Structure 1
Amino acid sequence: MKLSRFNIVIFIGFFAILGVIIMQFFLLNQAYSFEKKEVESKIHYALRDVVERIYIDNNSELIVSNQIKKIAHNYYVVNVNDVFENNILEFYLKKEFNRVNLDLDFEYAIYDCGSNNMVYGNYIDADGDTSKKCEDCFTKNHDLIYYFAIRFPTLKQNYFSSLKQYWIYTVVLFIVLIIYVYSVLLMLKQKRYTVLQNDFINNMTHEFKTPLASILIASNYANSQDEIKKSPKLSKYIEIIINQSKKLNQHIEQILSLAKTDSHNIQLNKTKVELSNIVKLIKENILLKYSREITFTLLFPKKYTVLADEFHFYNILYNIVDNAIKYTKGNPDVTMMINDNVKYVTLSISDNGDGVSEKDLPFIFDKFYRVERKDSKEIEGFGIGLAYVKKICQLHNWKISASSTETGLTISIQIPKTDIYE
């Protein structure tokens, strides 16, 4: 299967986020191991210091090595090999754990030689809760005589709570991954609908063009017949059929052009185009199309030749001028002017209509967006003319913008100086 650029970007983004999550789990595991070693070291050093303090109190010489033996992850046996008291042991345990900043719940038991049993000492909890005590959790060690055992019931929970920031980052990354996957699914669904829409538009418009061409041929032939010419009423009806058929054909061509640009099948054939010739042709066609009195004002300081696709360049200018006249009440006045600076040549087309409201202005170049007219409740057109204009400008690497005032709408096309020949 051939991968498109869109699919490649999706795969790269997915594997990138997945890689970040894997790295996060790796860092989480490392942080867990580091925290575990650090806590175990604190426990070991604290218990060793407790034994040393007992020997100092007893004025004895510390002759026992390897006093501390880890039985389980949270259970330690400490060989003292010397007599010690319960309350002294608890005092030293609290003091040493506090000194090494070991904030853990713990409980301890001391081996009693007389009863040959482990005597439960106490459960030390910062919150004062002693309901967690487990007296049966301490077992005897037959190789030792003077020893105590210590247990940390909440040790494993402490590991996880100390890494809460890492867990938060991991959860956030999972949420990002879920949002990314959901967004990709929506985009793929939208892309599928777009492809179906373009296929439908192409098929529909091509199906319309065949009968429409037949209608135009038949209408033109009928209009040339003497019987029609002799009847003003029939001639008027035929003329209406021809004009409306041409208008429908123009709409179909616009839809086909926009669908073609959306599918990226359009190929620009850039040549040097004389701007004044294009404007002259547009003026002639506009005056033939409309019976109203139209005023054209051209403010070109000199002749300009533009590197552009002549066919599409004509279309976008014609669309802008046609819209200016179509949506202007009374006698339209269209002004085309050029502002020249160091980097760009800006071609502006202004009209004397009602302009566009502030809420509609940012969207007038969007496909299928239509502006409601102030003098009519009906919204005319398909909303594809200016979308086609913007698409062609983008393909030429030009910038297009719109501004509106009470005196009309101005469409500006910013052309780089690299595309201008003076």
Structure 2
Amino acid sequence: MKLNKLNSIIILGIIAIVGILVAQLLWTKEAFTIEEKKFSQKTHIALLEVAKKLYQGTNHDLPTENPIKKISNDYYVVNIDNDFEPEILEFYLKSEFKKMNLTTDFEYAMYNCQSDEMVYGNYISLSDKSKGKQSIYFPKHKNLVYYFAIRFPNETTYLFSSLRFWFVLSMVLILILLIYVYSIFTLLQQKKYSELQRDFINNMTHEFKTPLSSILIASNYLIKQEPIKKDKKLYTYAEIIINQSNKLNQHIEKILTIAKSDYSPLELNTENIAIVPIIENAIENIKLKYPEITTTIKTDSSDYTIIADSFHFNNLVYNLLDNAAKYCDTKPEIVIRLSKENQVLKLEFIDNGIGISNKNLSFIFDKFYRIPSEKSNEVNGFGLGLYYVKKICNLHHWKINATNNPEKGITLTILIPNK
């Protein structure tokens, strides 16, 4: 049902944008036709005024029949039926075209009775872009003796330039359509990947958790048997099976938690909690995994409280301690410092681990990212611990950053606004 609704919205959106684009193109075409008619009308008026002025001071009257004939879109013939000078004609053409705001280049030619052919006049450049005499053919017109011809070689370009806004708008609509189609394609791809991820999680839950539970049940039963207890080697092997199974179970739970939170946002049950007791509880738990670890809490007050989800905050602290202990090539020593600066509570985790190069420091919070090093190859993990920490900080609207210590290790700092 949801998929059909999404498909309907996508199709309606594409139809709407294509419809708007087609309408825009039709309007642009109509606007071009109107501009072409306006140009033709202005040209007729200007040439008619030129013809009137050429008849002034002569014994001939302007004929009642329209002396202007449009041969093609950019070619006009004007019948004068009276002799005239090229210089006067050029002057009148420039002045009348200027009055009608016809600012495109033009060229003219006159009919020569003696040679019985069109004699090229001049190329008039009004745009200062294309000067110089052109060699364009002016065809001779029948049944006319005293006449001249006008050609606009750049008429189409001139009309297109006057419709610049329409073309820009059309290009913007085309760009919007392409962006929309690309966004829809990306959305469908992401939806496909999300469904694959969900199916993988469901399959992984069944395929991994079920046999692992059977292994743990069998191992716990096995280790309680008297023959196993009496045989030290068998008892050690049974303990290894149980410990490794529990470790694998923790990794699977972490993957499932992260994947589930990506598919559906985590819900926080925030409350006013004391920070120091939760940190102390996390330290006790981490010592069960790393008995050799040394942790120190430095704070000027044990009464600091924050508004947070106690469960996820405890996991956050545990992940930071676990990460610091794993990536240490000596005895892990971690200092947890609490301080207050400008209404912001600063929580720092300072370790003596192997440290991180500056070029990799900005990637440590990325999902599945593990720093390429010899220690990383020795330590089991999926690169989800710090990603989870970053996610919890973002949900609480806290800021977290990492910096290298001057001597050894790194410092992870969480800034918690005091509300």
Please indicate the TM-score interval, normalised by the length of the shorter structure: 0.7 to 0.9
Could you tell which deviates more after superposition, 197-206 or 310-319? 197-206
Q: CA separation of 1:325/1:11 partners in 2, compared to 1, >3 Å: closer, same or farther? A: farther
For 1:79-98, list aligned pairs within 5 A. 80=80, 83-85=82-84, 87=86, 90-92=89-91, 95-96=94-95
Q: CA separation of 1:296/1:182 partners in 2, compared to 1, >3 Å: closer, same or farther? A: same
C-alpha distance in structure 2 between counterparts of 1:394 and 1:17, whole Å? 37
Tell me what 1:223 maps to: 223
C-alpha distance in structure 2 between counterparts of 1:319 and 1:109, whole Å? 93
> 3-state SS of the aligned residue for 1:271?
strand
Tell me what 1:336 maps to: 336
Counterpart of 1:415, as a letter, is I
Instruction: Give CA-to-partner distance per residue, 1:91-116, whole Å, 9 cap, x none.
Output: 3465447756643344556598x9xx
Tell me what 1:128 maps to: 133
For 1:378-417, list aligned pairs within 5 A. 378=378, 380-405=380-405, 406-417=407-418
Could you tell which deviates more after superposition, 336-345 or 32-41? 32-41
Could you tell which deviates more after superposition, 167-176 or 261-270? 167-176
Partners of 1:229 and 1:235 within 8 A in 2 = yes
TM-score (norm 2): 0.80
Q: Structure 2: 5+ residue runs without aligned partners?
A: 124-130
Partners of 1:399 and 1:414 within 8 A in 2 = yes
> 3-state SS of the aligned residue for 2:56?
helix
Tell me what 1:303 maps to: 303
Shift of 1:325: 0.9
Tell me what 1:235 maps to: 235
C-alpha distance in structure 1 between counterparts of 2:7 and 2:261, whole Å? 20
C-alpha distance in structure 2 between counterparts of 1:374 and 1:310, whole Å? 35
Partners of 2:111 and 2:147 within 8 A in 1 = yes
C-alpha distance in structure 2 between counterparts of 1:385 and 1:416, whole Å? 23
C-alpha distance in structure 1 between counterparts of 2:386 and 2:40, whole Å? 71
Partners of 1:49 and 1:96 within 8 A in 2 = no
Partners of 1:361 and 1:403 within 8 A in 2 = yes
C-alpha distance in structure 2 between counterparts of 1:310 and 1:9, whole Å? 41
Counterpart of 2:208, as a letter, is F
C-alpha distance in structure 1 between counterparts of 2:314 and 2:189, whole Å? 36
C-alpha distance in structure 1 between counterparts of 2:340 and 2:20, whole Å? 50
C-alpha distance in structure 1 between counterparts of 2:328 and 2:290, whole Å? 12
Q: CA separation of 1:33/1:56 partners in 2, compared to 1, >3 Å: closer, same or farther? A: same
Instruction: Give CA-to-partner distance per residue, 1:56-108, whole Å, 9 cap, x none.
Output: 3427676869665656543445454x522364675346544775664334455
Instruction: Give CA-to-partner distance per residue, 1:140-170, whole Å, 9 cap, x none.
Output: 59xxx97655444552344236656865675
Q: CA separation of 1:31/1:280 partners in 2, compared to 1, >3 Å: closer, same or farther? A: same
Shift of 1:362: 0.9
Shift of 1:304: 2.3
Shift of 1:283: 1.1
Instruction: Give CA-to-partner distance per residue, 1:263-294, whole Å, 9 cap, x none.
Output: 12532222333222211211111111113242
Q: CA separation of 1:347/1:23 partners in 2, compared to 1, >3 Å: closer, same or farther? A: farther
Counterpart of 1:344, as a letter, is V
> 3-state SS of the aligned residue for 2:346?
strand
Q: CA separation of 1:38/1:300 partners in 2, compared to 1, >3 Å: closer, same or farther? A: farther
> 3-state SS of the aligned residue for 1:296?
strand
Shift of 1:315: 1.1
> 3-state SS of the aligned residue for 2:220?
helix
Partners of 2:104 and 2:154 within 8 A in 1 = no
Q: Percent identity?
A: 43
Q: Structure 1: 5+ residue runs without aligned partners?
A: none
C-alpha distance in structure 2 between counterparts of 1:293 and 1:344, whole Å? 29
Q: CA separation of 1:273/1:356 partners in 2, compared to 1, >3 Å: closer, same or farther? A: same
Counterpart of 2:210, as a letter, is T
Counterpart of 1:413, as a letter, is I
For 1:160-175, list aligned pairs within 5 A. 160=160, 167=167, 170-171=170-171, 174-175=174-175
For 1:265-276, list aligned pairs within 5 A. 265-276=265-276
Could you tell which deviates more after superposition, 195-204 or 90-99? 90-99
C-alpha distance in structure 2 between counterparts of 1:22 and 1:417, whole Å? 56
Counterpart of 1:85, as a letter, is F
Partners of 1:298 and 1:337 within 8 A in 2 = yes
> 3-state SS of the aligned residue for 2:43?
helix
CA RMSD of aligned residues (A): 4.1
Partners of 2:363 and 2:369 within 8 A in 1 = yes
Shift of 1:373: 3.0
Counterpart of 2:133, as a letter, is G
Counterpart of 2:335, as a letter, is T
Counterpart of 1:259, as a letter, is A
2:74 is aligned with 1:74? yes
Shift of 1:256: 0.8
Shift of 1:7: 9.1
Q: CA separation of 1:51/1:338 partners in 2, compared to 1, >3 Å: closer, same or farther? A: same
C-alpha distance in structure 2 between counterparts of 1:206 and 1:342, whole Å? 50
Partners of 1:372 and 1:379 within 8 A in 2 = no
